[in-house]
Amino acid sequence: MRIGICPGSFDPVTNGHVDIFERASKLVDKLIVAVLTNPNKHNLFTQEERVELIKASVAHIPNVEVDDGASGLLIDYAKSKNSFMIIRGLRALSDFEYEFQRALFSKYLDDDIETVFIMTNNKYSFVSSTGIRELARFQGRLDGLVPETVKKALEAKFADRSE
């Protein structure tokens, strides 16, 4: 079985992410969306909330599994899942520079696991989780940028805040 890993913090998952998951799922028998914790980020949603939001957002893709990931090196996580491929979505050249360096580290650590880059659909090229959180904080329009379940979760998160 060909297993691919699509890792990220997904705080929150966006329609751009879902587009990458849909397209990546066609490259493998099973795609694992690994919801990782980045110690350098302060997440809006808990790990459990992010997993549930992604599960709701990918329910229509039969070969996608959502996992709460693991701490430690991504390459070790990929090996533990018998994955041969790490799939990364790219929006801009700046994403490529960062992801390229990470891919080279992964290749250094395990030459058998490939990193594949998928360019985002143009209509999502400006969408980032950071931008979505900012829009939601100030009651900006989220239509078409995030799945409906994520939109409702964001509205609930910021309903009682005066930020």
Give me the active site residues, please: 17, 41, 91, 129
Q: What is the 3-state secondary structure (H, E, C) of 79-111?
A: HHCCCCEEEEEECCHHHHHHHHHHHHHHHHHCC
Sheet-wide strand order for 64-67: 64-67, 30-35, 3-8, 85-90, 114-119
Q: Is 161 annotated as a binding residue?
A: no
Q: Is 41 annotated as a binding residue?
A: yes
Q: Is 102 annotated as a binding residue?
A: no
Q: Is 8 annotated as a binding residue?
A: no
Q: Is 88 annotated as a binding residue?
A: yes
Q: Is 126 annotated as a binding residue?
A: yes
Residue 33, strand partner residues:
6, 66
Q: Is 125 exposed, middle or buried (0-12, 13-18, 19+ CB in 10 A)?
A: middle
Q: Is 90 annotated as a binding residue?
A: yes
Q: Is 42 annotated as a binding residue?
A: no
HSE, side-chain direction, 13 A CA sphere, residue 23? 16
- Helix or strand holding residue 17 (H, E): helix 15-24
Binding residues: 9-10, 17, 41, 74, 88-91, 99, 124-130
Binding residues for substrate: 9, 41, 74, 88
Annotated binding residues for ATP: 9-10, 17, 89-91, 99, 124-130
